[in-house]
Amino acid sequence: MKAIENKDRKAFSQFYERYSHTVLCFVVSKVHNKEVAKDIVQNFWLAFWENPRILRTNKTGCVKVYMLQHLRFRIYDMYRIAVPETIPAEDANIVSSLTSHENIEKEELLQIVRDALKNSSTLNQDAFWMRLENIPAKETAGELNTTTQTVHNSFSKSLRTVREYIKKHYPEIVASGMKLIFAIYFFK
């Protein structure tokens, strides 16, 4: 690590060779999309080269635990960016085509989501529905007596649960390319 801090290319190459496969596999396992994972990993390696102090070693000199934790936080950051605080209606022009093309009513969509989340924790459900109501993460966290990070994590976990449920139980929705969560935003 000291050599990498001193911009030793050989030390960086050895570090990269040792951990590149582990890093990519870890990120792919979390985001389930190889292209997105490659972008995250590339940004990680660039950031690490520019500032090796983003990683630390534990008492035994192992960096792997801190490295994977750092990557986990970069993935959370990506999800936070992908799920903004609010989505302006003019940025997602899907309501008219959804209602005329798919014939799925608001209550049917909401019931699908309720069914998907029925086994989720109360915290995950509450955070999800509050965020869908465009309540800011900070306010949601205060209301639920938790942190904004937990709200973001809960919302991301709920989205993943809904996506998996839809893929399993409603493949026709997936096949149509409909973005269910955006549809719910605009059926309110």
**Which helix (DSSP H) or strand (DSSP E) does residue 3 occupy?**
helix 2-5
Mean pLDDT for 53-81 is 83
Between 114 and 87, where is the model more confident? Answer: 114
pLDDT of residue 90: 45
| pLDDT score of 95 more than 50 | no
Positive/negative CA dihedral, 132, 167, 121, 25:
negative
| pLDDT score of 93 more than 80 | no
pLDDT of residue 173: 61
Mean pLDDT for 44-53 is 90
**Residue entry with tokens 């955006």:** 182
pLDDT of residue 172: 67
pLDDT of residue 157: 87
pLDDT of residue 81: 64
User: Given pLDDT bands bounded at 50, 70 and 90, which one contains residue 39?
Assistant: confident
Lowest mean pLDDT among 13-17, 23-27, 58-62: 58-62
Mean pLDDT for 154-183 is 71
pLDDT of residue 174: 58
**Domains of the chain and CATH, by start:** 2-82 (1.10.1740.10), 89-186 (no CATH)
* Half-sphere exposure in the Cβ direction for 131 (13 Å, CA): 26
What is the per-residue burial (b if ≥16 Cβ within 10 Å, else e) of 153-169? bbbbbbbebbeebbeee
| pLDDT score of 138 more than 70 | yes
- Mean pLDDT estimate for the chain: 78
